[in-house]
Structure 1
Amino acid sequence: MPETHAHPWFRVHPVGHQNIVWHWNQATRDEIAQGMRWYSDAHHVATVIAGGNAHLGAGMLAIYSPQQGWIGNVLNAARVLREGKGIGGPGCGMFATTGQKRAADRLLNGERYEDILSGPKIRDFAHLIEFGGDRDPDDPRVVIDRHALSVAHGRALMSEQYESAPVNGSRRKDGSISRRHYDHVVSLYHRAAERISALAGEHISAHQVQAVTWLVRQRLNQEAEQRRGPNRLDKGRNHARANSERAWNEFRTTYLPNLAMCPGTGYQSAA
């Protein structure tokens, strides 16, 4: 079997743990503090929006996470949980697919997210949110989205570059998930976490390194955008993010006044 890093995508877009360590070293004190508790804060959000059921809340957040910013993700999941039915497809009033609607309905009907979600990214996302980190230290998880892969690559990847990366995985006939290339990138975060922990003199988990460097990468992306001036796509994203922030703040104030915290994204507020 060929080495994972010999895949054509990785030859064109090399990745390395040293790039992850570099991003960690660019983190501000606040980014480190936010990133270290990101998944525990997300666990709090999942528990509150699902009425105390962390598994349900985490699964719903994972279902509505693809192609969605974090604030919009939380808003959509919270809306579905409040209404008690999946939302998605044309004319639904939010950016979600019919497939997401079906998955949400299955989760609401009692199925476990492990039996619904097939992609390693959203499975690990749900797991880390449900438990506020790793359930089993011997089975550490890391969420490899576009920003996390960009961190490992050392610079921002365009959407089309990320979409062509062999990290989506698939469900095999026996129900297991194929994640060899995904886990190649995960292993780089483990290696970076070991080095960062050694330098810091304390244990820092791979998912904490991912969260901190994810915040850094998004800040660097926004700074680069500000230097060159926003293009049409940037303006569209900023507008959508501002709308999501306003809608979420209204929803949170009305329906979730006791929600104490919500983890950030690394971007300055657009609202």
Structure 2
Amino acid sequence: MKIRKVGYYPNPDDQVPESGGIHGCYELLVIQQGHANLEWLGQLYTVEEPAAFLLSPNSPHKLLSSSTSLRYLYVEFEIIDATIFPALPQLLQWNSLQGRMETMQSEVELFRQSMQVLEQLVKQYAHEKSPLLEEALMNDMRKAIVLVRYLLDNANRMEGYIESVQQSQYRTIEAIMRYMESHYREELSLQHLSDLVHLNGSYLIRLFKKLQGKTPFHYLSELRMNAATSYLQNSSLSIQDIAQASGYNSLHYFSQAFKLKNGMSPSEWRDRNNGTG
């Protein structure tokens, strides 16, 4: 590895910040503070700190806009063995992850600490081109690249884990929905439903609402109301029998709920919809 150029902003010795361009070297661009918009290979990345972009040689890049509090550094470097640098698909994945690695807090903190050390080396090396400082900087750059590969590996495993968890959550809620569809006539408590799937009751409500946009008991009410409406339109059962057949233990409650939803009593609705009662 060989360091071609380093820089940082704000820099009292260089009032004009670098805005990007194209060159034949690899580059690490670290957003340390504020937010920035980076254009690279036709992609626009809008990120807040911390973010660390890896750029391949001869790939146009440009900081389009930034916050007034922006603080960043960059290192342009050459590599003899290009296999240690992530390939383009991994670079695209890594750069797209910037600002979106909340599920990897401990690993990201490790990388952030590495970048803090790198910042001190970059600032020192920018003013003192010492061979020993360059060696220290190159060692930290190698470490940064290895950490990127480690984080990418973790991200891929975490993505698979999250996908597995999400599938499990959907299956759980589907099971609850199918159960309610078969047992809507019965008295169903939160405790009973949560015991079926071995979940805490409050968590079950939150998860159901997250995935279905409604609580389980809202869904149960819809099932019962749909059943009652079908009975009203297609049977000659009495209102009392319809209430019981639809899972309502109280005729008064059923009538109130029906009127709240439809703006009229069950009997009035049946008459208007050519029922047989």
TM-score interval (norm. to shorter): under 0.3
Point out the structure with the larger helix share: 1
**Normalization by structure 2: what TM-score?**
0.21
Greater strand share, 1 or 2? Answer: 2
TM-score, length basis structure 1: 0.22
